[in-house]
Amino acid sequence: MSDEMASPPPAPESEDGIPAAEAVSLRQIALDFAAAHDHPRPSSIAAVGAGRLRALRLVDPHFFVRGADEASHLIVMTGQFGEDTAGGQPDAAASAESVLWLIVTAESHVIEDWGTASHAPDLASLGTVLDLSSP
């Protein structure tokens, strides 16, 4: 008889291999971050598992990064993200649909990188895209 305990069964996975419990957590991270950037209800939220370096190169092809390509998730939200001007009116950039992206470490869910863009990157080029728009 072995002294080792049997490993627990793996968590159920979503279509793209992100465990279902992790998908719920990623959605909440996205919603919290969006709310902190003046848009608590993004139009869409999508995520894909990818190495951090590959994800950074996708959101900004001119981004130069060295180091290990640690397991991460790229989360992309569409909506009206931006700051209010001093007069209290949304600025012109915030009145148009924009993109807010996050790169979150797969293991600890720490936001390593984030930014905004005028259009969404092609997430499917990194793998199967998971729609996190609804619970």
User: pTM of the prediction?
Assistant: 0.77
Tell me, what DSSP letter sits at residue 67?
Answer: S
Residue 29 · residue 74 · CB < 8 Å: no
Examine the pLDDT at 6 and tell me if it is beyond 50: no
Tokens 């259009």 -> residue: 119
Examine the pLDDT at 12 and tell me if it is beyond 90: no
Examine the pLDDT at 9 and tell me if it is beyond 70: no
pLDDT digits (tens, 9 = 90+) for 74-96: 999 998 876 443 334 445 544 57
- Rounded CA gap, 39 and 131, in Å? 18
Q: Domain segments of the chain: what residues?
A: 20-83+93-131
- Rounded CA gap, 126 and 48, in Å? 7
Sheet holding 98-105, edge to edge: 111-117, 98-105, 71-79, 44-51, 130-131
Residues above pLDDT 90, as percent of the chain: 45
